Structure 1
Amino acid sequence: MDDRALAGDLATAAGELLLQIRVGGLAGKQLGKEGDMRSNEFLMAQLANRRPDDAVLSEESADDKSRLHADRVWIVDPVDGTREYGVPGRTDWAVHVALWSAEGGGTLIAGAVALPALGITYVDDDSVIEPTDGLASSPRGERPRVVVSGSRPPAFSQPVADAIGGTVLQMGSAGAKAMAVVRGEADAYVHAGGQYEWDSAAPVAVAEAKGLWCGRIDGSPLVYNRDDTYLPDLVICRPELRDKIIAVTSAG
């Protein structure tokens, strides 16, 4: 199985496991903790078995710095949006599985984002994704939507929306917000409240494959598999909106 197919299969399977755990009687923080642990155990075991020579960076495992010298590093978030996962009925949580390669100076070469509560997994290919349940699709004649964190919206949320003549919409999970832009249900996702590499690696791999622009709020590129995994800000948007958005987000 190639890397892209493996990323998709693992994200999907971890999502199915999380759905099973979710109906087991736990709730809130206890459910989130159990989901994080068991999804991480599943992903780490699968990667150890199926890609034993690759390194892994996971939110829920100790950071093995040998990855800094590895040719290939899987970057995973077993539950992106743990808080939303613990709330009955919430669908805006995800599983992220991405693969970074040292070739060419370092780049993401595969990625998958599963939205288990919606029964969807997106991978980094050029297939056409049809809008699904979640945010209602808006005709292009309507005002653009800028999705931001529901718990940590950036100060420039409204100025960004104003710059593109749009509106602000809050959601959970970086993966859910990024995939809303992929589906065309939103036009941009902006974030500056703090993230780590596992929060954005898989969503960025998918979004870039769909033709979206992805980068830092100052317009610089996103760099993965660094010693310091803190990657605090992110913009994912339709390419034609990039300059207007960066003009706002880079102004400080």
Structure 2
Amino acid sequence: MSDPVYDLAADAALAAELAEEAGRILLDVRVSGRFEGKAMGAEGDHVANAYLVEALMAQRPDDGLLSEERKCDGSRLDKSRVWIVDPLDGTREYGEGRDDWAVHVALAVKGVATVGAVALPGLGLTLRSDRPQPLPPLNAPLRMLVSRSRPAAEAVAVAQTLGADLVPMGSAGAKAMAVVRGEADIYLHSGGQYEWDNCAPAAVALAYGLHCVRLDGQPLVYNRDDPYLPDLLICRAEVADAVTQAMASL
């Protein structure tokens, strides 16, 4: 029996619609004046997750679902289509009133990040896998994204080898989309992530023609029993070999 055919265009539109609406909900929480700091982050996580889970269960009831803010019952493991969401990526930045936080909505099909939308509500932007745009020229010198609080030693070393400038930024989604938008050229992460941290960003980045792999060169695989996915590289294809060689020299 052949696999069923799904309307991925409709899935992409749904991902963008849900990411944008969750972003609006999060902005409403932030301007309500009822919460501050960590309490704001906790409330934002809660309400955005409730919205996304309810919407996906209603509109794609036959698909699996993995969310950072929802206990997994294991049923997704038997599904070939699994929605992977992070209702609020960059809780700290959100609570601090910064713009470098995101909402991730992705669909993995047979373990591949196939559809994705990353909303950057603080910037009024949503990047979608179904609407890729031409990439701008490389930066000169190259620009490498690192964590605001704990830059990975590997990233710092690779940046030194390549003569790249370090660019501190908040959430994983914001960093990945900075490469998509041409604000940076390399996002190398080795400090530990989960599938919800990078599935939607990877789907968008792949659609834009970026190089997206694990640090050992293996593909990113989703909907595994253990959702821990500790490292990744998202970079311009033009510099992928140079980054790989720099990593090998460490």
What amino acid does structure 2 have at the position aligned with 1:79?
L
Provide the residue aligned with 2:217 in structure 1: 219
Residue in 2 aligned with 1:136?
none
- Structure 2, unmatched stretches of 5+, are 1-8
Q: CA deviation at 1:210?
A: 0.3
Structure 1 residue aligned with 2:242: 244
Runs of at least 5 residues in structure 1 that lack an aligned partner in the other structure: 132-138
Counterpart in 1 of 2:182? 184
Q: Deviations over 1:97-139 (max 9, x none)?
A: 000112xxx31221000000101001102532799xxxxxxx7
Counterpart residue type for residue 110 of structure 1: V
Q: State the AA in 2 paired with 1:243.
A: D
Closer, same or farther: CA 44–70 of 1 in aligned 2, 3 Å: same
- Choose which of 112, 126, 149 in structure 2 pairs with 1:121: 126
- The alignment-based identity, stated in percent, is 56
Output one character per residue of 1:197-249: Cα deviation in whole Å (capped at 9) or x when no partner. 00000000000000100011111111110001000011100112112212333
Question: Could you say which residue in structure 2 is the equivalent of 1:32?
Answer: 41
CA-based RMSD of the aligned residues comes to 1.7
The answer to which of 234-243 and 36-45 deviates more is 234-243
SS where residue 153 of structure 2 aligns? Answer: coil
Once the two structures are superposed, the pairs formed by residues 102-251 of structure 1 within 5 Å of their partners are 102=110, 106-128=111-133, 140=138, 142-250=140-248
The amino acid that maps onto 1:32 is: G
Secondary structure of 1:156's counterpart equals helix
- Residue 41 (structure 1) aligns with: 50
SS at match of 2:113: strand
Distance across 2 between alignment mates of 1:141 and 1:205: 23
Instruction: Identify the match of residue 15 of structure 1 among 2, 14, 23.
Output: 23
Per the normalisation by structure 1, the TM-score is 0.91
TM-score by length of 2: 0.92
Compared with structure 1, are the counterparts of its residues 142 and 243 closer, same or farther at alpha carbon in structure 2 (3 Å cutoff)? closer
**CA offset digits 1:173-198 (Å, max 9, x no partner):** 00000010001110000111110000
Cα shift at 1:140? 4.7
Alpha-carbon distance between aligned partners in 2 of 1:141 and 1:19, rounded to the nearest angstrom: 32
Number of residues of Structure 1 aligned to a counterpart in Structure 2:
241
Q: What CA distance in whole angstroms lies between the structure 2 residues aligned with 1:99 and 1:251?
A: 35
Change (3 A) 1:11 1:126: closer
Contact 1:156 1:249 survives alignment (8 Å): yes
Q: Provide runs of 4+ in structure 1 moved above 6 Å.
A: none
In structure 2, the CA distance between the partners of 1:214 and 1:141, relative to structure 1 (3 Å rule), is closer
